[in-house]
A and B are shown apart, each in its own frame.
Chain A
Amino acid sequence: MAIFSGTPFGLDIFTASVVLAIMIIPTIASISREIMIAVPQSQREAAYMLGATKWEVFKMAVVPYSKSGLVGASILGLGRAVGETMAITMLIGNATGQGAFPSSLFSPGQTLSSIIANEFPEAASGSLHMAALIGCGLILFAIAITINIVAQLLVSRVLKTHQGAILA
């Protein structure tokens, strides 16, 4: 299979992905926690009263109430991952040219932010190179603001209906 072809060297998309995954755990965990705390206690109590186990309470009372918020928290984590620069620059291998299109999970690649961080010191002020790098920044900006706005809308919708009805 093409995804796993090639010899793992260490500086590749796979390593970078694992590290990114670790880095976004705290973001997702803390926002999810905040959202689940916002689920009214009465919802949980109602489920407990029916004789539900802990897992069933989570499934019946917590998840339906906070579904969109949990999705939002994950997207916020994604937003973190999109903009993360230094760890990725050090790990992704910084392929250039045609080789930058990754052929497998274990081939080096590049990200928008790693290009900027890597090539910025070499770009002369006012040159086309510099303009291109700032252009990369613009694309990154567009991606990040879209992700963040969508995620914040989802999260704040749950947190705002603190005492309100379920938005299933």
Chain B
Amino acid sequence: MITIEQRAEFRKHFRNNISSRLVTDKIVKGIVFGCVLLAIVPLGSIILEIVRNGVPVLSIEFLTAPPGAVGSADPGGIGPAIQGTLMLIGMSSLIGVPVGVLGGIFLSEYGNNRYGNMIRFFNDVLAEFPTIVIGLFAFAVIVLTFGYFSIVAGMFALSVIMLPVITRTTEESLKLVPVTYREAGYALGIKRSVIILRILLTSAKSGLITGIMLSVARVAGETAPLIFTILGNDDFFSGFDQPMDALPLRIYRLANLPYDSATAQGWGGALILILIILSLNVGVRYLFLRKRGGGGRFRITAGR
């Protein structure tokens, strides 16, 4: 039974007849679909361009040799940059992952109060923060204090960038574990800490690893903070108090050089960077998630 008020409400919202409403619906659907295409085209085009321009320069020498003199006939390679990027990823994960995961545990398990909300809020603010400001921060705190540019400063800046991403994804994937799992643990008389470490973390493993890999992908491509911290260098790693090279930095430098060979090498570097991130992702997933049909049961999607 439709009341008069309901009919009035209906008329208010649907003034036109059904066929023109359906046409509007179709048009909007077309527009939305067109926007999706428009958003996906750049992605495909980026990958296509990088592969097309990057593959020709690939060679053993390109991957292992240090860069040659600027503009010389022998352009050298990007060996130090690859080494630097791998070291930076490893070292910043050493700080970023434990602190981020523990922070996520805190927010998810102990953070249902005012402090938790406050930390969550500022964590989200930090996650979207301009990385160049974080780079300046690392410059002021580490480089100016010690008096030299170093990979340690780069590690510090990158782990600060990593942290909010990992904290957030850890919290979200822990929240996805059903409360009955926790209750089952309590019913067996297990301590809270053991429940968190043994039950929750293993159940949410897949989400945790997704989060960590997201943050690794993010810091691996970071350029701006590296200018202020590791500075860039043409040589392989030679000590924790020396400037260091990294792929994004090298790509930036190469792309700005007015030589065709340098630009081509820049494309090659971009291709290598993408391949490194991709293979790290696949490798880590294979190592940690191959058992028990894909590891943890509660996945999170990429999200923010």
Q: A79-B128, A80-B128, A149-B125 are in contact. Are A29 and B25 (CB under 8 A)?
A: no
Number of B residues contacting the other chain (C-beta, 8 Å)? 35
Q: A113-B224, A121-B227, A134-B140 are in contact. Are A60 and B13 (CB under 8 A)?
A: yes
Contact B14 A83 (CB under 8 A): no
A8: chain B residues at CB < 8 Å are none
B302: chain A residues at CB < 8 Å are 30
B14: chain A residues at CB < 8 Å are 50-52, 56
Residues on A close to B: CB < 8 A? 22, 25-27, 29-31, 34, 50-56, 60, 76, 79-80, 82-86, 90, 113, 116-117, 120-121, 125, 134, 137, 140-141, 144-145, 148-149, 151-152, 155-156
Contact B228 A140 (CB under 8 A): no
Taken residue by residue from 1 to 23, chain B's Cβ proximity to chain A (1 for < 8 Å, 0 otherwise) reads as 00000000110011000000110
Contact B130 A90 (CB under 8 A): no
Measured CA separation A75–B118 after assembly (Å):
20
Please provide the 3 A-B residue pairs with the shortest distance between their CB atoms, ordered closest to farther. Answer: A83-B130, A85-B224, A53-B25
**Contact segment of B102-110, B131-139, B277-285:** B131-139
**Contact segment of B77-85, B197-205, B233-241, B248-256:** B248-256
Within 8 A of A (CB), among B1-60: 9-10, 13-14, 21-22, 24-25, 28-29, 39, 42
Taken residue by residue from 219 to 233, chain B's Cβ proximity to chain A (1 for < 8 Å, 0 otherwise) reads as 000011001100000
Contact A137 B42 (CB under 8 A): no
Contact A113 B29 (CB under 8 A): no
Measured CA separation A71–B223 after assembly (Å):
29
B224: chain A residues at CB < 8 Å are 85-86, 113, 117
Most buried by A among B13, B130, B228: B130
